[in-house]
A and B are shown apart, each in its own frame.
Chain A
Amino acid sequence: MSWINALVQGVLLGGLYAIFATGLSLAFGVMRFVNLAHGDLAILAAYLVLSTASTMGVSHVVSLPLVVLLMAGLGYVGQRFVFNRTIGPDPLAGILCSFGIGVVVQNLLLARYTATDRYLDAGSIETSTIRINDSVSIGHFSLLTFVCAILLLGSLQIFLSRTSLGRAFRATADDPATAQLMGINDKRIYGFAMAIAFGTVGIAGFFLGARETFAPAAGPNQLLFGFEAVVIGGLGSLWGTLIGGIVLGVAQVFGNQLSVGWNLLAGHIVFLMVLAFRPNGLLGTGVRT
């Protein structure tokens, strides 16, 4: 029965990875942009929740919407004034730029908040559980995270398929030069896409910070999990991101079940196997060349 519990916990953990990886997947899907600062931005968002909550005298949960808006604004401005300048046939400029921004964010956080571990308080929901039977129980907070992942991906799916702006996202992803012939300002679309990506990383930062403690240097590890989820699911595929997150989550929890040291290793092994046997991911249709 403990394996069933591991499966349930792994699936729920996948929801957290999916929220985190959604922004990576969107940035790659729309503008072929690999954001190496994504993990550091999630940690930045977690610290912003801490700071806005203490400044405004409200709970961490209440300050989350403000942080999501702040992050979205930062994403739009960052894309319009920094990342757009790196977009071109060679992706290296964008990769190096985001790597540099990640280093700067880490060091600014270290200077402002020190290296002490912090955590976010999501209230009593963090510890309450639904008990299914003696060996299987579901944490309310894990369930909430998973439901948020579904809602987030579902909303994005509706936005991309049903709205004029969403179609413009997809057209720009297909062919930015031809999208301009439709009256679409591709650079502005990139700004909106990055605003959504940063907004989702704000939500991910909150869930990460409430699940475990964090410090300024925690970003790169999270980035690795995010990349693994995106690659397992299929580059640029939104629902693939959820599938990838679930596969990674289940692999990690199963690994932990085998032996404590196998936790992360099992996830990495599954990631490498997908890369070797299905390099386009489980739901991916291939990368545009």
Chain B
Amino acid sequence: MLVVSEVSAGYEDFRALFDVSLSVREGETVAIVGANGAGKSTLLRAVMGQVRLHAGSVHFCGVDISEMKTYDRVKLGISLVPEGRKIFPSLTVRENLFIGSFGKRPGPWSIERVVSIFPMLDRLLNRSAAKLSGGEQQAIAIGRALLSNPRLVLLDEVSLGLAPVVVKQLYNALPAISNQGTTAIVVEQDIHQALAVSDRVYCLLEGKVSLSGEASRVSTSEITTAYFGAAV
């Protein structure tokens, strides 16, 4: 479904990714783990077209999307839950969710279905999204991305800055997302959290893929070495 081939990308003079290749099959949940600054978020932004590729290509469902605008990639069926949630502060919770369906892609997701996996949003729909807690805002960000009815959803560090109990609530919703046939890429710093929900894993180290394999077959020592660059 998604094929990233030898991608180098970054910001102005700074290069964050070097010859990164990865592939994601339909229906899979793939984890991308790595330390802070390893290039995980840049990789997702490159897939979404928010950073320019210096080299390489990105194909989605057989279409070369390397030069495609971000909003056209969304219309093709890719959606990103951005790092830091990026909720629209002047919109209510319901409007924040509704704006996800702007492209009117047909599919299974509706506000009711999002509320069914995040019941905490039910009583908040008419509230201003700016005044909610981090966990509630993250639920909105995930719901908003699902309402575009994506074939592939990219989740960028959904646990960042949240209490463990809230993170557990959010991660409990992931099976419901894959049950709808939505493919997912989960970017995390927390290795255990990511491995628990994914079929395959890629580890990034200093902008390069340091390990890839099936989540259930990767040993702790392998991934620790790939994560930190040396055995700990």
Contact = CB atoms under 8 A, between A and B. Distances in A.
A96 to B, nearest CB: 25
Interface stretch (A149-157, A167-175, A213-221): A167-175
Interface string B30-58: 00000000000000000010100000000
A181 B88 contact: no
A128 interface: no
A182 B95 contact: no
A182 B74 contact: yes
Interface centre among B79, B88, B145 (most CB of A within 10 A): B88
B103 to A, nearest CB: 3
A190 to B, nearest CB: 13
Interface string A161-184: 000100110110111011111111
A178 B81 CA distance: 10
Chief secondary structure at chain A's binding surface: helix
A167 B95 contact: yes
Contacts of B69: 180, 185
Contacts of B95: 167, 170
Contacts of A171: 88, 91, 99
A174 B75 contact: no
Contact of A185 (B50, B71, B91, B99): B71
A182 B50 contact: no
B28 to A, nearest CB: 22
A184 B148 CA distance: 11
B70 to A, nearest CB: 4
Nearest to B70: A180
Interface string B4-35: 00000000000000000000000000000000
A181 B74 contact: yes
A186 B89 CA distance: 17
Contact of A183 (B50, B86, B148): B148
Contacts of B100: 182
Contacts of B48: 181
Given A182-B148, A183-B148, A184-B102, A170 B88 contact: yes
- Chain B contact residues (Cβ within 8 angstroms of A): what range? 20 to 34
Contacts of A186: 71
B219 interface: no
A167 B88 CA distance: 10
A170 B91 contact: yes
B102 A168 contact: yes
A180 B88 CA distance: 12
B90 interface: yes
Interface string B94-113: 01001110110100000000
Given A181-B79, A185-B71, 15 more contacts: A164-B98, A170-B95, A171-B91, A174-B89, A178-B86, A178-B88, A179-B88, A181-B145, A182-B99, A182-B102, A182-B144, A183-B75, A183-B103, A183-B148, A184-B102
Interface of B: 48, 50, 69-71, 74-75, 79-80, 82, 86, 88-91, 95, 98-100, 102-103, 105, 144-145, 148
30 contacts: A164-B102, A167-B98, A167-B102, A168-B102, A170-B88, A170-B90, A170-B91, A170-B95, A171-B88, A171-B91, A173-B90, A174-B88, A174-B89, A174-B91, A175-B88, A178-B82, A178-B88, A179-B99, A180-B69, A180-B70, A180-B71, A181-B74, A181-B86, A182-B74, A182-B144, A182-B148, A183-B71, A184-B99, A184-B102, A186-B71
